[in-house]
Amino acid sequence: MSGFVFNEKPIQIERGDGAYVYDDSGTEYLDMGASYACVPLGHGHPAVRDAVTEQFEKITYVQASYPNAQRTALYELLAETAPGDIDNTWLCNSGTEANEAALKFARSATGNSKIVATMQGFHGRTMGALATTWKDKYKKPYEPLIGDVEFVPYNDSEALEEAVDEDTAAFIVEPVQGEGGINPATKEFLQDAREMTREAGAALVFDEVQTGMGRTGTLWAAEQIGVVPDMLTSAKGLGNGFPVGATLVRDWVAENYGSHASTFSGGPVISAAAGATVSTMVEEAVPAHAGEVGAYLRAELEAALGEDVRDVRGEGLMIGVEVKRGANRYLKQLALEHRILALPAGRTVIRLLPPLTITESEADRVIEALTDLLTDT
């Protein structure tokens, strides 16, 4: 047996360029999900390619306890662009590691152990992050996980108030739930969460692994909500395809982080990739573009869709189309008939997470294809 984890799709992708990917026979597909929010600037972006190539030619890796210029520059850039006074960065290799670190930091900084998380939430698959993930399917075979996790319904401030108490280390929440079906949080819920965690002395953690890096129309979703969490985690789009995660942390947490480290933390090539991605995103106002194209796409989908569709929701270019029957048959048709690759989110949601650089005419292609598939009843 080999490579037993993934269910492989019948398309072998060999090449990418901007919002397009190409299979081994040269067929072109519009990437509305093949890159899983990991390539916000589009495939093969020259700024990222050049930064990585230049660093690769100097040195690929040096032990993390030696400072390197790329990592220092990335720390500064993230401190500048993070919401409010979040000034400290821990770098790692993935989303689950970024959340794992956040949970550890919350425990050491507060001296408490209890973690509050949300129903339908997803925070990753290592033991700690997995314990805060909702779905039993992901957890059951591996139990017992870390104890002391309490789940509250998403957007339910009353339940949150009951759960967050003086024994709480952290409340971890996605500003828009991704895997759970593209469910945006209400502003009130996250504002209430800010108040409640502050009063209890617990850390508020925004998991922006999927919502961050411009996806929702601002660099971080927290900016739109007007809430500064104590920690904000990032990964997926952070390195425009390179494996890098970050836990952004306020001083009071960073000062009491305990002892945490990782061999590959902030390696020079990965730091160069993330630095080029964040600075291009800011310089070229990519998040604002994502906000505009996303609003257009959502409005047009809402207007065009017929009886098969329950709901269209999301923020920016993080869009869910909830259908009445299973999403998978539509995803197959989108790929085979329309050459558009998209994703599911649960059983009934078609999820769109394209490069943020897609144009309005590319959005039109998606609207036409989905309208075609979803209105012929």
Output 18 or 178, the one with its CB closest to ligand PLP.
178
Cα–Cα–Cα angle for 370, 236, 345, rounded to 5 degrees: 35
Least distance CB 213 / ligand PLP (angstroms): 12
Q: Which residues are annotated as a binding site for substrate?
A: 125, 262
| Positive or negative torsion for Cα 150, 154, 160, 165 | positive
Task: Using the minimum distance from each CB to ligand PLP, give the nearer residue, 110 or 132.
Answer: 132
Nearest distance from C-beta of residue 157 to ligand PLP, angstroms: 21
Stated as kind and residue range, the H or E segment containing 291 is: helix 286-304
Inter-CA distances, 120 with 41, 134, 176, 227, Å: 29, 5, 11, 22
Grouping H, G, I as helix, E, B as strand and the rest as coil, residue 90 is: strand
Q: How far is the CB of 333 from ligand PLP (least distance, A)?
A: 25
Contact 212, 221 (CB under 8 A): yes
> Which C-beta is closer to ligand PLP: that of 70 or that of 234?
234
- Pick between residue 207 and residue 315 the one whose CB is nearest to ligand PLP: 207
Residues in contact with ligand PLP by CB under 6 A are 94-96, 99, 122-124, 174, 178-179, 207, 209-210, 235-236
324-329, long-range: CB < 8 A, 24+ apart: 324/348
Residue 125 CB, shortest distance to ligand PLP, in Å, is 6
Closest approach, Cβ 207 to ligand PLP, in A, equals 5
Shortest distance in whole angstroms from residue 94 CB to ligand PLP = 4
**Which residues contact residue 374 at a Cβ distance below 8 angstroms, ignoring those fewer than 6 apart?**
305, 306, 308, 309, 321, 323, 330
Annotated binding site for pyridoxal 5'-phosphate: 95-96, 122, 207-210, 263
**29 SS3 class:** strand
The DSSP bridge pattern shows strands 203-207 and 231-234 to be parallel
Q: Nearer to ligand PLP by C-beta: 318 or 367? A: 318
Residue list for the binding site: 95-96, 122, 125, 207-210, 262-263
28-31 and 20-23: which strand pairing? antiparallel
Q: Based on CB atoms, which residue is closest to ligand PLP, 209 or 297?
A: 209
The residue nearest ligand PLP at its CB is: 95
- The least distance separating ligand PLP from the CB of residue 338, rounded to whole angstroms, comes to 25
CB nearer to ligand PLP: give 110 or 234. 234
Give the contacts of 309 (CB within 8 A, at least 6 positions apart).
Answer: 321, 322, 323, 324, 374
- Angstrom CA distances, 373 to 295, 298, 352, stand at 21, 16, 15
